[in-house]
Amino acid sequence: MLRYVLVTLIWSLLGTEVFAQKTIVSGVVKDASTKETIPFANIFFNGTQAGTQTNMDGFFTISTSASYSALKFVYMGYETKIVPITVGKTQRIEVLMNPSAKELKQIVITKKNKAKYSNKDNPAVELIRKVIEHKDSNRAADLNTISYRKYEKMTFSMDNISDKFRNNKLFKNYQFLFQEQDSGKFGGKYILPVYIEEKLSDNFFRKDPNFKKTVIIGEKQAEFDKKYVDNKGLQNYFKRMYEDVDIYSNNISIISNEFLSPIATSAPTFYKYFITDTVKNTEPRLVELSFFARNKGDMLFNGKLYITLDGKYAVKKARLSVDKDINLNFVRGMNIDLDFESDENNLYNLNKSHLSVDFGINKEKGFGFIGDRSVTFRNYEINKPLPDSVFKEEKITAVEPKPVLRNDNFWNENRLDTISHNQLSIYKNIDSLQTIPSFRRTVKYATLLIAGYQNLGGYDMGPFNTFYSFNNVEGFRLRVGGRTTTELSKNWYFENYLAYGVKDEKWKYYLSGAYAFNHKSIYTFPQHFIKVSFQRDTKIPGQELQFIQEDNILLSFKRGVNDMLLYNDFYKIEYIKEFENHFSYGLQLKKWSQSPAGGLYYQTYSENFVNRLTTSEVSLSLRYAPHEKFYQGKVYRTSFVNKYPIFNLRYSVGLRNVLGGEYDYHSLSGSIDKRFYLSQFGYSDVRTEGAYMFGKLPFPLLSIHRANQTYAYQMYAYNLMNFLEFVSDRYVSLNIDHNFNGFFLNKIPLVKHLKLREIVSFKALYGGLRAENNPNLTGNTYRFPLFADGQSRTYSLGNEPYMEGSIGLGNIFKVLRVDAVKRFNYLNHPEVSEWGVRARVKFDF
């Protein structure tokens, strides 16, 4: 989703050299007398406040696209030193700092070797333990009631833009987009803003009983053409990337990763702490506590905390950043600033937070993107009774801002923070950008490449990745299709495709018509529509469209024997209703006629072959995904995984003698998906699933477990199971996929520089067949299909569950995951493998 917007903008503006000549300086700072390294020395570009610090070993790296010619080195007890540097070059220097004359008289050298860091008898560690001990009393969540007003501002810009790129004649019509900023900031001198949003809200919290409520007062966003971009999804994505930073929480979620807070309960195990200064000209007095990650590759911060010495041990200020060697993709730098203010109760409330992340394909040079989110808090009311009206509705309320709240006067009067003229101009510039013909053409090409659809004015043709594919039954398969859009009608929607198999010489097609009760696209949240459809097409038994799109050309390559296919006729009437709290239900009436093809056949024990099997069913589906956020693509939604579970439940009833249905049955199935974050040990994606079918049924109508015979690793399929290998009328399953985020590999010399990430998975499936549904125990049902040599192709699960597991490496070249998969049992089945290698492409930070 984000890649779609970024690629669109890059394609619109690129076409020439974009790499600025960057100055990169690295080196070490030492005491001129003892030659010992100096930790935490301050380094600035001379004449600016833009800079960095040496790490605990005295080393540093600093870079800029500006034309600074000198660095200034400052450290308490030493003379300030100015060192010239070469502009536009990568260089390494050694800086020797001389102790000041006043301090020289007090220095007594006891030994030359630097003492080994230890938590024991370390005053900095004792101090941080006091901070941890007082966390609950200092954090807002420990209060009985709290209310406040909150103003959020988010901007996203292309950065590190060179003069050569900006002044190219190809961008003559785009000059109004470029903006100049302080060259000491992230992103260099010139940036190209592409997004801005603002939000003003009132927030209420009650501890007992626990309750939260947010009322949005005003909201404003730079919007792109809704035909191509899901603006609400874009907003959701940035919200997931740039979440609120709670220093008192054990883990801080940023850019889809969990970072360990420097005041987490376990923080002294993973961080090193140093008392680097005291601030005496404030009330209360503060201690500057510097901290560094023990392992530079882990999801940890570097930075400073300013702790109050009033007995509360509260955080007054926090300055967080990440090490340049962190195992985090595409991130050049990150800065977090938190400022707290005391109130009349002497409680320290968050007054302002600022989060800035600089992204880039290349961490050292070239253009990239920078995102800034600032949040301002005002009007705190602590432990005061709240009106009953505030808690009248037991849900988070998101009130759509009225048009009058979007005008300039409202924002001028109600913003809690300043906004620059350049930032305000982004709204107008994005509107103007979309009127430029070259940009509009580029958007169409990007939509075709990334989303797979070409807009033809009221009709989207696609998806193009399904236009050509192949399999053993159909041979080469050609397909063309598309769907109508809101340009044609805001109430009625139609979708269709036509496909032809060269080998089987059969036509396949699909046609649907839908009516939207909310006068929006049927893909727009919250959905509310009724749809009628007919589909005549093929599918592999057990493969459902929501898990895999079979005519995708990339999935045409399969292992083993792959000659079983179904010809299907689906008649459906569907009603879908979604609610703002992400609960939804669906009602469906379906008639399904299926005919076996290829190596699949339906045969009774009386030796009769069945050419067509028909069922009719009505079903009710329930889904609840609390706090779900997603980006809506042309057809499918891309959910942004968070810590909240997703529940699915489905109940179906087979109708015999209704619309040609041949069987009565009842089916109940459900699943729960959840991500568990384990701090520094990564995260686990867990799915539990189960089903039970009531009634006597032939194997094609039972639960056919999802198998995978492609070479792509599939998260929710069994990667070493063959198609139609197992069927059940009852089952439970467990799927665990754990990513360690490089926790172990980050600590291995040489290997740690590859930024690899360890992954382990385990899948177990336990189920079986009742005697009435098992053709090996009863003769009054369909036989399991056989291979040509007479061996069975299909089985029921026995007394032990089917199990497989994998060990993998992720983040190979930043996009590739490769797993060695092992199947643990049922190895006596024909055409199965004990081991396999599977790969998966995934873009992740």
pLDDT given at position 674? 96
What is the Cα–Cα distance from 194 to 173, expressed in whole angstroms? 16
Question: For residue 455, what are its two tokens?
Answer: 């807009």
Contact status, residue 519 vs residue 490, Cβ threshold 8 Å: yes
Looking at residue 396, what is its pLDDT? Answer: 40
pLDDT at position 56 is 64
* Confidence (pLDDT) at 506: 93
**Which two tokens mark 123?**
């005053």
Q: Would you say residue 12 has pLDDT above 50?
A: no
Q: What is the mean pLDDT of residues 450-474?
A: 84
Question: What is the pLDDT, as a whole number, of residue 186?
Answer: 62
Rg of the chain (C-alpha set): 31
The helix (H) or strand (E) run that includes residue 444 is helix 437-446
Write down the residue that tokens 């109708």 correspond to: 655
Burial class (CB in 10 A: 0-12, 13-18, 19+), 477: buried
Residues 6+ apart with CB under 8 A from 607: none
Cα(264)–Cα(268) distance, integer angstroms:
8
Q: Which residues are within 8 A (CB) of 344 and not within 5 positions of it... i.e. 6 or more apart?
A: none
pLDDT at 589 over 60: yes
Phi, psi of 704 (to 5 degrees): -95, 115
Residue recorded with tokens 């080196």: 27
Report CA dihedral (136, 139, 140, 143) to the nearest 10 degrees. Answer: 30
Which tokens go with 117? 């860091």
Q: Is the pLDDT of residue 398 over 60?
A: no
What is the per-residue pLDDT for 392?
65
Average pLDDT, the chain: 86
Cα 568 from Cα 594, distance rounded (Å): 4
Contact 273, 288 (CB under 8 A): no
Cβ neighbours, 10 Å, residue 551: 24
Residues 261-292: pLDDT tens digits?
A: 999 999 999 999 999 888 777 788 899 999 99
Flag the least confident range among 108-117, 408-417, 552-561, 570-579. Answer: 108-117
Euclidean distance between the first and the last CA atom of the chain, given in angstroms as a whole number: 14
Helices (H) and strands (E) in the chain, counts: 10, 44
Reference 477, options 412, 539, 399; nearest CA is 539
Closest listed residue to residue 341, CA positions, set 309, 372, 310, 377: 377
pLDDT tens by residue, 503-555: 999 999 999 999 999 998 898 889 999 999 999 999 888 876 433 444 444 55
3-state SS assignment for residue 613? strand
Is the distance from CB of 503 to CB of 470 less than 8 angstroms?
A: no
Is the pLDDT assigned to residue 758 strictly greater than 50?
yes
Token pair for residue 661? 């249905």
Instruction: From 763, 708, 767, 718, select the one nearest 736 (Cα to Cα).
Output: 763
Please indicate whether residue 342 or residue 737 has the higher confidence score (pLDDT).
Answer: 737
Q: Is 827 exposed, middle or buried (0-12, 13-18, 19+ CB in 10 A)?
A: exposed
Dihedral of CA 161/362/452/229: which sign? negative
| pLDDT value for 248 | 94
Q: What is the pLDDT of residues 179-223, one digit of tens each?
A: 777 655 666 677 888 899 999 999 998 888 878 888 889 999 888
Which residues, 6 or more positions from 605, have their beta carbon under 8 angstroms from its beta carbon?
Answer: 775, 779, 780, 781, 783
- Per DSSP, the residues of 77-144 read TB--EEEE--TTSEEEEEEEEPBPHHHHTT-----SSPPPP-STT-HHHHHHHHHHHTHHHHSGGGSS
Q: What is the pLDDT of residue 718?
A: 96
Q: Give me 239's structure tokens.
A: 């919200």
Confidence class for position 114, pLDDT limits 50, 70, 90 = low
Per cent of the chain over pLDDT 70 is: 90
- What are φ and ψ of residue 130, in 5° steps? -65, -40
Q: What distance in Å separates the CA atoms of residue 406 and residue 199, rounded to the nearest whole number?
A: 10
Q: How far apart are CA 28 and CA 95, in angstroms?
A: 6
Mean per-residue pLDDT, 163-171? 78
- Does 65 score more than 90 pLDDT? no
Q: pTM of this prediction?
A: 0.81
pLDDT surpassing 90 at residue 455 = no
Q: Which of 811, 826, 818 is nearest to 757 (CA)?
A: 811
For residues 698-705, give the mean pLDDT.
Answer: 95
| Residue 514 and residue 492 in contact, taking contact as beta carbons nearer than 8 Å | yes
